[in-house]
Amino acid sequence: MQLEYIGAFNVVLGVLARFWPVWIALVLVMGASFAYKKRLGLYGQLFDSSVGIVGVGICLFWLFTAIFASTISPFNPLAQIPIMKDALPGAVEPQSGLVYLFGGDKLARDVFSRMVYGSQIVLIIAPAATGFALMVGITLGLPAGYYGGRIDTVLSFLANLVLAFPVILLFYLLVTPGIMETPIPYAMAGLFFLFPIIFFSVLSWTRYKKRPDRLYILLGLTLIIGGWVYAGLVFDADPFRIIHIDPNQLNIFVAVVFASSPGVFRIVRGLTMDIKTRDYVAAAQTRGESPWYIMLWEILPNARGPLIVDACLRIGYTTILLGTLGYFGLGLAPESPDWGTAIKDASRLLRSFIHPALPPTIALMSFVLGLNLLADSLREQSMKD
């Protein structure tokens, strides 16, 4: 059966039309951000430079793409229609009349739909893993830099030990399929996922220990929400099935947190050693404030600029890392629509069909570019402050 094709111009129009919910969301959010940028603090300052505007726009584009993926995609990312195998961009699927806008891959799946759904995987794993790595690095880096001595020596040795190991080899060891048959990933997840609960509990205690009415509410919310998320992530025991992560994704998640935490630790440690010599820290010590109060409420807020910049860059590094692991066939399931796996599948027939490899490659590159531009703009704003 001969396939019908639409022209290149109609393909472009079709792609733009499929993203209609993203365009509406971008117009609303960017318009509101411009209108109220003076009230939005650091986020509002990003709109004072063209670099910041472009960075925010690209990141929001992929965020809204992940949110509206089911509306944007014309096909199920796993659906196979045999006649569409290796179809060129613009091929019309005979039964539904819908178009394979970016063509079909070697398994007759829609490349455009897989690219769109791949954004969900990236925007779930990369920011969340970076957030947990920040929690671990901050919780350990603050006491190491503030107290020094043996605490600093032990924690710095452990961090340097992890950093000294080759990153790719480390991930290869942590993400190989056989590791999921051992308790190692779940034990590591159980340890790392405790840090946010500990962090927010200590944060509430140091701030409101003299106000029990507010303290008990905050501690209760932290333990209930934190325990719920912890049970869902580590034990897959969420009764509502809201907090759930596949074993393969958990494996990658834990590996990213494990590899990223030492880098965050060293940044926080260095910032803490510098900031603890400032006058306002000495004033807090004179008032008799506890060390953890000083670390969390005097030092950490003044270190937020470099940490926010590092977080943006680290999300970009994690995105590239996910793509690299997917390209090597590690971590996620082989049928996963994540961008790295899509690039790997397409690369095997690259000389014959280049179109399946281009969309996930451009998507990966553009998202990382947006994060880097965002980080550059944040760095400029932090230097002004």
The distance of Cα 66 from the centroid of its chain, to the nearest Å, equals: 12
With a cut of 90, say whether residue 333 has pLDDT above it.
no
Whether pTM exceeds 0.85 = yes
Q: What is the pLDDT of residues 196-243, one digit of tens each?
A: 999 999 999 999 988 988 999 999 999 999 999 888 888 878 777 777
Beta bridge partners of 91: 5, 100
Write down the domain spans for the chain. Answer: 4-118+337-384, 119-320
Provide the pLDDT for residue 189. Answer: 86
Q: What is the mean pLDDT of residues 348-357?
A: 76
Q: What is the pLDDT of residues 33-66, one digit of tens each?
A: 999 988 888 888 889 889 999 999 999 999 999 9
Provide the pLDDT for residue 180. Answer: 64
In the chain, what percentage of residues exceed pLDDT 90? Answer: 48
Q: What is the mean pLDDT of residues 170-199?
A: 81
Average pLDDT, the chain: 88
Residue 306 and residue 232: Cα distance in Å, rounded?
Answer: 32
Provide the pLDDT for residue 295. Answer: 95
The pairing of strands 4-5 and 91-92 is antiparallel
* CB neighbourhood size of 308 (10 A): 18
Question: Between residues 304 and 294, which one has the greater pLDDT?
Answer: 294
82-91, 164-173, 370-379: the lowest-pLDDT one: 164-173
